[in-house]
Structure 1
């Protein structure tokens, strides 16, 4: 504990954080918002399907850029490259939203 001007101990101000046994300040972790199901016509769909639907137009644009740049022609397996780009697009959407 820190000492004040009068020599008395004053409590640390860590904003509700606790101290670990090693003396480090441990703040409570912020929980990310939980993804919930989407109901369309009474049918519950997983949230990854919504992100996949949002990623498809972005992927189509990236695929056109890859095709114009000639990267799909020199790739060992063009379909595998396209799938990897789609997965990366969905992952970025999940991280950014």
Structure 2
């Protein structure tokens, strides 16, 4: 296979700035996000906002990010809670992170 036809898109690291709304504060949302992201190999940060939403920067491969959202949705479905992503923007990846962590403003 030549390098011209080799597709490495699934290995490309991307970073997404997200805003979540719904039942996302006082229910362990940030800690659940950390646990899931670290399990699937994503990095970044997550924090509560004063308006009741949660902001996150999530970084990983497309497959890791997809796994993160699948596992987060499954967890919320089991607990009969809901969330929606109200903002999602691709931003530049950040080097040197080793995990997804909670930020406190």
- Normalised to the residue count of structure 2, the TM-score between the two structures is 0.26
Higher relative contact order (CA 8 A, sep 6+): 2
Question: Which structure has the highest strand share of the two?
Answer: 2
* TM-score, length of structure 1 as denominator length: 0.27
Larger Rg: 1
